[in-house]
Each structure stands twice: as structure tokens, then as C-alpha cells.
Amino acid sequence: MNRIHPALIPLFLILVSVAPAPVASQDETSLFKSIAVEVYPGVSVPFGSSGDLFTPGGNGSLSGAFGLIEEPLVYVSAGLDYDLVPLQAEASLSILGIGVGVGAYLDFGPRLSFRGFLTGGPYYPFFNQSTIDSQSAVYPYISAGIGLSYLMTPAISLGANASYRNFIGTYGGLGVQFGCSFYLRGQESRRAKLEQSRRTYLPEYLKNARQPAADEGIRVNEVSIEELFPVLHKYYDQNPIGTVLISNQEPTPVTDVKVSFFIKQYMASPKASGEAFGLEPGEQREVTLYALLNESVLEVTEATKVTAEVLLEYKIRGTWYSDSRSESVRIYDRNAMTWDDNRKACAFVTAKDPAILGVSKFVSGIVRNNANPAVNLNIQKAMGVHEALGLYGINYEIDPQSAYDQLSRNPEQIDYVQFPRQTMEYKAGDCDDLSILYAAMLESIGVETAFITVPGHIYMAFATEMSSKDAANQLLEAEDLIIRDDRVWIPLEVTERDGDFLRAWQGGAQQWRQYAPQNQADFYPIRDAWVLYEPVGSPGIEIKLEPPAEQDVVGSYEKSRDAFLAQIIFPKIQDLERRVSWSKADVPRLNRLGILYAQFGDPAKATGIFERILTFGEYVPALINLGNVAYMRQDWPAALGYYERAQARRPDDGTIKLNIARTHHAMENYGLVKRLYEDIQKMDPALAERFAYLGAGAEGKARAEAISQAKEAVLWEEE
């Protein structure tokens, strides 16, 4: 029975009469907002009792969908359904149906839509084998289902449907179909929807802006965009990433021209290129492009290409126009950088990374609890960090594919630079990785750092917050230091992993002495570089670095500190003691020797020297320094007595008055302290500012006690 039953002929005529002819543009007076032809082949699986008779087969549908409402799209449909369902025996049944229905699309974006539908109508079944007789009759069927569709272009969408189909009295089954829809009307509406979604970031006044034709408006002549580096994502906000050359091809001026740049994946909104401007007929202008990339760009672990848009908006004779130009942009991985500007490495110094902070704060606490008050605290912090990294097992390892020695000679070549937490995890890095790690550790505990570059190498330095005079008083040799604007920095060769802190210091100083006189050593304070290359958030999974055992850090730090005293300080004190004559003529040198003993842990010997000086007369520096020794012992009356004797000799000395005020503050005589502090402000404003806690009254006591334990609070007096 291969012929179509005569009863189906009227139904075919009905379908042909309602099927629309292709329409090029939408008629606003038409009943239907959109018209589409849908072709969906698929498979069917028998369900329920049908499974006892039938096996899986195929199906297909050809229908027309007529949109009644646009948002959401509600439609009616009419079409043909065909099912081929094999029987368990060697036979198959064809089912031909003509259905009408209703459905609705719910959009999940400009391209993806979900839909539900219900169809029904008459169907005609017949066996495909001529040897099997069948009744020539028409029966009703009903189908309900859901589907997803993806709009490829404004005129074509791809989709998938799943439905339950019940051919009453014959067959029931589940159907899965994959197909496409061709829009004969309504393309403009869908094109507008796509354009609207693509331009949701535009301001309200541009939502309905016209798109120019090819020969009108502004022409984009050239676009040049640099390759982007995630670690510099903050830098691009204020610094160019490229240019676009535009020209006015209108016979009249174009006004309110704005150019912006946008990468959808990595920017919250387009970045404008300055203020609006105008273009005269035929005029062209080069516009600089910027980009405010968000931190998601730090998730890029392999170099990739993305689509960027150069957006234009402007006015022609009062009408707003908007246009765009798509360009491919390469974004490198988050560890990539070039050495065309060495300061870029400062963006990797993630001093606020919780993983780094946890370790550095732990080490800093140990140093403070075990510090020698005579030694500069920043030096002791650097000692602690150096020794703690040694305990972590951090090693110097050259990557032959990413060696600073080679890459620094080719500013355009891409280098792989580790973030501090990565170096801690890997326990290894080359000279730039270790310099970045050291700098991050020290910056996180308030020690200012800098990068030093010499031919083929990068290392670092840290600030002591001492002046050159302070450094000389601490018996530090000028040749081992870097002095810039009277600030003392200590260079540190971070690749020195086998020796102690002093060996790393000596290695850094030796390189500075070698290259600085030849102008081959560059110095980059990291906090200055951060103004241009801000540090980024640490990318990757949050980790917690377990610090070494406290007793190990204490032992290693104290060993380094004692080596510093034994090798740098004590030999110079002993040399001075051998050269002093112990006579009145040598009083200034005796006074200096007493200060050194007081500073470096022998107050009893210091007191004996200062008292020996006073046998020659009321020498004011010795009186002040005896007061300082008593103050360090918290013997307030004795300290006050020495300071007042010194004031009797120098009544207008601001430093003496400060020492007296500080002692009264420790004795809680706050009313007197206030009056003394007012005098100090008049006599020496800079000194008053340095000890501002004295003007705070009783609430400043805790701070005064803390400062009294620091070397900076003890103003030793030399001739």
C-alpha cells in the first residue's frame, strides 16, 4: 500500500493555501511578525505498549511557523509529519500526519532560545509492504515537546527538539529531532536583537543609533593594536595599547566623535579614548586606544587570540550614528613580559599576597622579638627573610629558555617570570624570580626595595632608612652601601643561596662597585615604579605556605645577626679602643667609643667611659649620653638629672629639652610634657614632628614606651 489515501488530498491543499510566499522585508500591517520554514529530521523510540510491537525508527517534519507576538515569540504552525516505525516482524509502518499547533520561544540571550510546543491533527497510517492489507482511514494525533535553538544568522537557526508523539490507536513514542529554521520574514527584528545585545554597553542615547552605510559616516582606515600582557592590565588604563586612524567621508562636518575600545571577555565596559571631537569633511585623525582590563585576564595561562572592537559614535546633522570594527588581539599568558623596560618586573612584586604575607609577617615577628636594638631594624628584617628562604630550600636555577642574561639583550623577546608564590611553591627561580620574591617579602613588612640591573643580571637592594651619617655612626663602610639622596640602601645578591646574609650583601656590593662607576648599573626603586606598573593580584588557586619551625628561624637569624656583629661591628670597636689615648685631648674619640659600647650591648663599659670624660669637666655630650644610658635602663630620675645638668650648660638646645620631655612623659608628668613640647615645636619643628607622640598626652604612653626601646629614640650626642 504505497499510495497516499485520497482523503489526504484536501489537507494538502489547505497547507499549500496557508503557506506564505518568500518575503524580503517585513510588512508592518501584516498579521504575522515573522515567518519561518522549519525542517527537522530525527529518530523515534516506541513508548509504553507500543514497545511490544514496534522498534526504533525515524521521523521528519516540514512546517511553517507564523509569529504572532515578538517578545516572547508566540507562534502558530502548520505542516507535515512523517514517521517510519519498524514492527518487531519484518515489516514497517508509515505514518503521515498534517498538524497545526502553537508554541512559544523564551530567549536566554541574543542567540540561544528555549521553546515549548503543542501540535495535533489528522494522520494516515499505512504499511510499506504491499503484501499486508491495511484499513484506509484517518485518525487524530497529538504531540508535545520542548527544544533549544541557536541563531546562527538573523535568517537561520539550528535547533534540537524532544517530544512525545501519540498517534492515537496506532503508535506512541518519544522523538528526538535536529534541524534548522529558515526565516522568510522577521530577519530584521532578529538582526536588531543581535545588534542590541552586542551593544548593551552603549549609553541609552545610542541604543537606537543608526548604523552607517559603507559610503557614509566615518571610515576606519587603519587599526594598530599591540600584543597585551595580563600582568600589565592596570597599566593599559592610562597608557596606549594602539591607535586607530579615522576619516570623515561626509560632505558635512561630523561632531561629537568618540572612539572606544572593548574586549568583551576581559573588560566590564568600553574604554573611551579621551574627549569627543569633531571632524571636518575629508579630515582624518589618529586616535590613541586604551583598555581597562579586569583581573580575569590573569587567568590566561596560554597565549591566545581574542576579538576586540573599536567602537565609534558620532553625530551627523543631529542624528546619532554608531559603528564598530572587529580586530584580533593576542593576549599572552599571565607570566609573560618583555624587558624593554625593567620596571615592568615591579608589577610581579605582589607584596599583599596573603600567602607571602603569612610567611613574611611570621619572620618579622621573630626578628622583632630577638632584635639587637643597636642594629638597624631593616637590616635585621632582611637577615630574617634571607635565612627563612634558605630554610624553605629556595634555590637559584637558570631556565635556559628564559634566562635574563639572554632575554634582557632582546627587548622584544617574551620572558616567563614567576610570581612570588610560584617561586615559593617551586622552590626555585632564576635571578629575576628571586629578586621579585625577596622584594615582595620585604615590601610586605614595610621595608622599601629596589631592583638593580647590571649587564646580564638583575638583583635587588633594600632601604635602611638611615642617612649616610647614621650609617657611618653604625660603622658601616660606604663602599658596601648604595647612597642615593642621602638614603642608604644595601644591595643583596639574591642568587647567593649557599652562604649567609653577609655573603649575599658582599656579592651585591661587589657588583655595584664594579658597574656603577661605568654607568652600567641601573637602580629602580620599586615603589616609584609601582606608580606606572602597579602590582597585580596574585593569580591562581589560593595557597597557604607553611612557615619553617620557629626555633629554626630563630636559630638561623641569630646566627646571621651575631655574624654581622662579629665581622662588621666588633672589630671596628676594638680598633677604636686600641687607638684612643684616654686623655683630655682625645675626649671626642672617647665619647664616640662610649656611644658604640652603649649601642652594641655593653652599657656598663659605656658608663665608665662617659664618667671618665666628666673627670676632665662638664662635657655636655657625655652628660647627654649618660642620660641616654640611664633612660635605656628606665632609671628616669638618673636620666633626668644628667639631662638637666646638660641643659644648665646649653639652655637653648632643643635636643636636650626633648630628652627632658621624653623622660617626664615616661614618668607620666603629662602637663609638664605638653609645655615642654610646645617649646620644642618652636625651637626645632622637624624634631618635634619626629617625636609627635609627646604632644598626645597620656594616650601616647604606649607608643612612647615602644619607641624608647628603639635605637632611633635614643639621640646620642657627638662633638
Domain 201-331 has CATH 2.60.40.10: yes
Per-residue pLDDT tens digits for 54-102: 899 999 999 999 988 876 789 999 999 999 989 877 788 889 999 999 9
| Start-end of H helices in 580-669 | 587-599, 603-614, 620-632, 636-649, 654-666
Q: What is the pLDDT of residue 7?
A: 42
Burial readout 270-290 (b: 16 or more C-beta within 10 A, e: otherwise):
bbbbeeeeebeeeeeeebebb
Give the CA count within 13 Å in the CB-facing half-sphere of 113.
25
Spatial distance between the Cα atoms of 526 and 442, rounded to a whole number of angstroms: 11
From residue 461, alpha-carbon distances to 478, 490, 491, 594 in Å are 15, 5, 4, 32
Specify whether the CB–CB gap between 102 and 76 falls below 8 A: yes
Q: What is the pLDDT of residue 152?
A: 79
Q: CA triplet 494, 497, 503: central angle to 5 degrees?
A: 75
Q: What is the pLDDT of residue 21?
A: 39
Specify whether the CB–CB gap between 230 and 240 falls below 8 A: no
Specify whether the CB–CB gap between 342 and 451 falls below 8 A: yes
Domain 6-192 has CATH 3.40.50.150: no
Spatial distance between the Cα atoms of 502 and 148, rounded to a whole number of angstroms: 70
Q: Widest CA span of the chain, in angstroms? A: 140
DSSP 8-state class, residue 80: E
Query: What's the CA dihedral at 584, 589, 595, 599 to 10 degrees?
Result: -150
Q: CA triplet 7, 8, 13: central angle to 5 degrees?
A: 120
Question: In terms of CATH, what superfamily is 580-713?
Answer: Tetratricopeptide repeat domain (1.25.40.10)
Q: Which helix (H) or strand (E) holds 687?
A: helix 685-690
Q: What is the pLDDT of residue 112?
A: 83
Spatial distance between the Cα atoms of 633 and 50, rounded to a whole number of angstroms: 101
140: left (phi over 0), alpha (psi -120 to 50) or beta: beta
- Other C-beta atoms lying within 10 Å of the C-beta of residue 585: 10
User: Which is it for strands 395-396 and 428-429: parallel, antiparallel or unpaired?
Assistant: parallel
Specify whether the CB–CB gap between 653 and 647 falls below 8 A: yes
- Other C-beta atoms lying within 10 Å of the C-beta of residue 56: 13
Helix 431-443 and helix 377-392, axial crossing angle in degrees, nearest 10: 130
Q: How far apart, in Å, do the first and last CA atoms of the chain sit?
A: 126
16: left (phi over 0), alpha (psi -120 to 50) or beta: alpha
- What is the 3 state secondary structure string of 267-280? CCCCEECCCCEEEC
Spatial distance between the Cα atoms of 635 and 627, rounded to a whole number of angstroms: 9
Nine-digit cell at 295? 583581573
Question: Could you state, in chain order, the average pLDDT of each consecutive group of 10 residues for the chain (719 residues)?
Answer: 42 41 43 87 90 89 87 87 85 90 83 90 85 74 93 84 91 93 72 52 63 83 94 95 95 94 92 94 95 93 93 91 91 94 95 92 92 87 94 85 70 90 91 95 96 94 90 84 94 88 94 95 96 87 78 91 83 82 84 84 87 91 93 91 94 92 90 90 86 68 40 69
Nine-digit cell at 263? 574586549
Q: What is the pLDDT of residue 150?
A: 87
Per-residue pLDDT tens digits for 4-58: 444 444 444 334 434 443 433 444 446 777 889 999 999 999 988 888 888 999 9
Q: What is the pLDDT of residue 500?
A: 86
Spatial distance between the Cα atoms of 220 and 324, rounded to a whole number of angstroms: 9
Q: Which helix (H) or strand (E) holds 356?
A: helix 354-370
DSSP output for 104-166: EEEESSSSEEEEEEEEEEEEEEEES-TTS------EEEEEEEEEEEEEEETTEEEEEEEEEEE
Q: What is the pLDDT of residue 136?
A: 65
Spatial distance between the Cα atoms of 450 and 256, rounded to a whole number of angstroms: 45
Query: Cell 629554626 identifies what position?
Result: 552
Per-residue pLDDT tens digits for 196-208: 555 555 665 665 6
Query: Cell 601616647 identifies what position?
Result: 700
Domain assignments of the chain as residue spans, ordered by start? 6-192, 201-331, 338-552, 580-713
Q: What is the pLDDT of residue 689?
A: 83
Spatial distance between the Cα atoms of 253 and 255, rounded to a whole number of angstroms: 6
Helix 550-564 and helix 501-515, axial crossing angle in degrees, nearest 10: 50
Spatial distance between the Cα atoms of 644 and 637, rounded to a whole number of angstroms: 11
Per-residue pLDDT tens digits for 588-635: 888 888 888 887 778 888 899 999 999 998 899 999 999 999 998 889
DSSP 8-state class, residue 183: E
- Cis, peptide link before residue 571, omega less than 30° from 0: no
Helix 354-370 and helix 431-443, axial crossing angle in degrees, nearest 10: 60
Strand order in 284-289's β-sheet?
Answer: 218-225, 242-248, 284-289
Closest CA to 601 of 638, 635, 636, 564: 564
Closest CA to 475 of 557, 563, 561, 564: 564
